[in-house]
Every structure is written in structure tokens, then in C-alpha cells.
Structure 1
């Protein structure tokens, strides 16, 4: 009994010391209000970056780089807030939901995304976020809010310069020539799929898919007509897509590569028979075919798109210039703010190194 009590006391004492250690102040930022960066906060941020980079353990220099980045972040955010820059909760939620919708591949609410995670992965939204990026939903939202505030402030300082960034025709053509080998279009087909999920009624799904197939093959309905029918029905999907002759396309269609190659042997206008998968009945037709080729500047980036290779290269070059302007402005601002009046290192030298050897 006495041994158990001693163990309990030791455990409580150890936990207390560990908690106290995490509360150790490493730096204080005071552009506006006074904010302390603690060892625990640094550990949490290092964990996030380790997950993102795939590195198991950061070395001492890498941990110091993360600490410097956290100091710079607080300096800029405090300066931005002091200058009147803000992000409302509504704006933050809109941005966050847009990110979730992009991840889901469709428009979803935060609640709906959480339900998808629970259904497909049997995890809470917080568990999923913690595993993926090392933050809970609320922690990530706070991090995101600071990032948006900082971005808005830099944009307010350099907005005219960023918006007026441009490139010459010669720059576009030179960039294309350097990266010409990347602009290759593989053999591609424009396909139209009709998919009827079984949803617990396999025989009903087969009947409906066969009926849609017969109507299409008999030219009683067009692909446009099938898409319009789909909009007023939740019983089937009708969608067109461009499919390349590559492994990623096979994975997207959930077929093996040899099956995809057989599909490419079919001619334009081919209509498949109705076939069954584990979850649905479906058929497809080949609307068009495009041969593999090296893309020129006037070619569309991919079949069916209006954006040409020239416009794509030009857009990327402009974004690169805007990023350079933004990063340069951020670097200049942090250098300007890193003065004793704005921040103080609470630990340095050997004392800091000792704390960073976890």
C-alpha cells in the first residue's frame, strides 16, 4: 500500500514538473499586447511541421528555425492588428469551409465534413485533424486566422505592386521552351458515364440502368437529356469526363490498366453494354478521342479547356512574381520589427539549447 502511494506521489510530481517545463517562456512579443511563446507551444508547432515534412525528429537548428518563425508570425500579426487589420469569425468560417469543400470534392458544411470523417474513418473531426496536421479544429482555425491576418496586412502594404505584376511575351516563350517536355498530352478520351447505385435494391438499379441504356442507344435521349434527368432524380448519375491513358485514370475509374487499354481500342461513338460493379450498374459511351502529342503554346492545356498553354505559363509566371514580392515584403517587415522594443528572448545560448533537447 505504502509503495502504491509513493508511486502515485511520484507520478503526480513528475506530471507537475513536465507541465511546468512546457510553460517555460522562450520569447515575449510586445508590438501590441504582450504575448509569450512557451516551450509547450513550440513543441506543438514542431510536431505540426514534423508531420508535414515526414521527418520524425527535428534537430536543434530546425527547432530554432521553428521558434524564429513563431516569433516572426507573432510580430507581424500584432503589427497587423495594431494597424487595424482583422478577420471576422464569419470570414474565417467561409475560408475554412471552402478548404473542406475542396478536400471533399464537393460543397460541404463543417458539420457535413465531420460526418463524412465519422462515417468513412470512424473518427471525430478533431481526431482526424490532430492525426493529419497535429492540431484540433479550433487550434487550426486560430492558426489559420493569424495567417489570414498576416497575409492581409502584407497585401495592404504591397497591393498595388502585387496586382500590377506582369511578364513579357519573351519570358513566357522562354519558360515554355525550358519546360517544354512537361507539356505532353497523353492519348485521351472524352467519356460519358451513367451510373445507377444499387443502394440496397440491385434488381431495381439494373432495371433503371437498362432502361436508360436502351433509350440512349435508340437515340430517344441525348447525353444532355440524361444530365437533365439526373438533376431531377437522385437515383443515378450522368457525367462526362476526360480520361487519359495512364495509371491515375485507371485508379480513378477503379479498373486495372489492362482494362483501360482495352477501352482505348474502342472507336469514337462506341457504347458499352450495361455492366455490374460491386456497388452499381453502369454503361459508358466514347464521345471523342484525342491522340497523344506535344502541346504548343496555342493548344489548350487539356481537351475541353479554354485555357491555352500560353495563358497557363503566363499565369504561373505572374503568380511566381507575386509570391516573390510578397515574400520579400514579409522578410523586410520582420527584419524591421525584430528590435528590442518589440520582442525579447527569455532563453538563449546554452539555456535555450538545453530546453530544446526533448
Structure 2
């Protein structure tokens, strides 16, 4: 019998609902405790997903000795303090992307995990999805020749609202950290670190970035990346190989299909997803925890550091700073 992993969720916004929904479909795991600063929200979430405990204090959840792992789903700016709170109470932590606000914060989180000998992983769910792993394998195989170009975008329109987390610069709101991270991830996970970066952005009245255009330059390849909160975009990832076009269809970062277009054929692969998609990272994390690991072999500390450092570099290029 596999050990049943008892989960806590810290921060009960929109993404926490998706995570809880998929957690219920994962074998040998249960939602044990939830926490929000709003006591009523915590009680309602507990009832909806049949959790055992509801807390109105993040500290109380972290102190609960029955909790094995904590999913942190608070706004970006709070990822570091909430992660460290849980790690110091010997809780394994799956922290939503972006891991933190900058490289220094991520390094502090990793150091804390190592010091306490506790598992820590960035929750960038795309990495664990079967369709994305399929495309990574294609890139590595050179089956269709060398990769010549990558185009990846992520955009949607939401009316500007300074009360929304999405637009609050002080908590990391804006297009880059919230959705631009996905096209950047697509480039880093398939092409590695770029030799140089070009980037420009537009901004809302409060200084949060509204859109960002980025070019990653490699020796023989270019990645054209785009994020925006101003308009709906295809939200695809298109890989141009010497002998084929590989398209991760909308929305490429979540469960979807992949088409392989050659000179003579078009083949579309359906991966028959049965969950929202968070189940894959949950299952990976649970197995790491059962095996007493403190770091993922897929979403490694080095990769998380490369990702946040790249985001830091892009922010420097576009003149985006956080207080």
C-alpha cells in the first residue's frame, strides 16, 4: 500500500480550486487542510472539496502535524515567505509558478529546503503533461531534423482592474510573470539558455506590464515569444524543424493536442486527458515525497533558477521593477 499523502492548500483563489479538483482524482492522496485569511472562504472551500480542516491562519496550517505536503497558491509576491514558513515546519512544498519574484528569493527558498531536508518543487504543471513531454522527446530525437525556430504566445483580454491580482504590480501582476512565463518556459525547456535576449513591453497606468515581446537568440535558432493581457491570441507553441512543423495547439500550456505537419501528411495526436492536468505534477510530487527526495529530477532547482533568472533578465530589458 502506498502511503496516503495528506495535502494542505495555502491560498484559496481560482487556481486552488483547479488543483483541489484534480487532487481528488489522484490515488493515495487526500486534501486534508485548507487555509485562507478569510475564515468564511476557508470553511466554504473545505466543504466543497471535503477537506478535514479549515484554517483562517497560514501559520496554523503549517503547524498541523498531520499535513505532509502544502500547495502554495497565494499571489507571486508571497511565495517566498509562505514557502519558507512551511519548510521550517518540515512540510514538503509545491509552490505555484513563478517560484518567487526574483533569483535571490528562489535561492533563499532552495537553501531553506536543503537546510531542513524537505522536498521543494516549483509547480509549473506544463512540464509534466504528456503532450509536452512528447514534444520535448521529439526535439531531443532529431526525428524531423534540427529545430530551426520556435514561436510561442499566451494572451487574453481582461478589463483593466487595479483590484484584481492580475494587474497589481506590487504582488507581481502583469503579463510577464503571470503568463509570459509559459512561452519563456517553452524556449528554455527545449532550447536551453539563449545566447542573447531582446525584449520590449507596453505598460498599464500603474506600471504593470500589459504585453511583452521577447526574442531569444541561439546559434542557429531564434525563439519568438509573446505575452499580453490586451487581446486574445492563439496561445500556441509552433516548432519549425528541418523536415516538419510541430504545433502544440491552443492552449499549449494545458492539456491539448499536437499536430505534426510534414510535406505529405498531417497527423494530430490526442492524449486523452481525463483531468484538468494538475494531476500529473501531483503524482510526480507524491512519488518524490514517498521516495524521500528533496528535489525533482524533472523540475530541478537548477531549471527553476534558470527560469527565474531569465525572467529577471527580461524585466531588466523592459525596465520593469518591483518594490
TM-score by length of 1: 0.20
Q: Please say which structure displays the higher CA radius of gyration.
A: 1
Which structure dedicates a bigger proportion of its chain to strand? 2
Specify which structure has the higher proportion of helix.
1
Q: TM-score normalized by structure 2?
A: 0.21
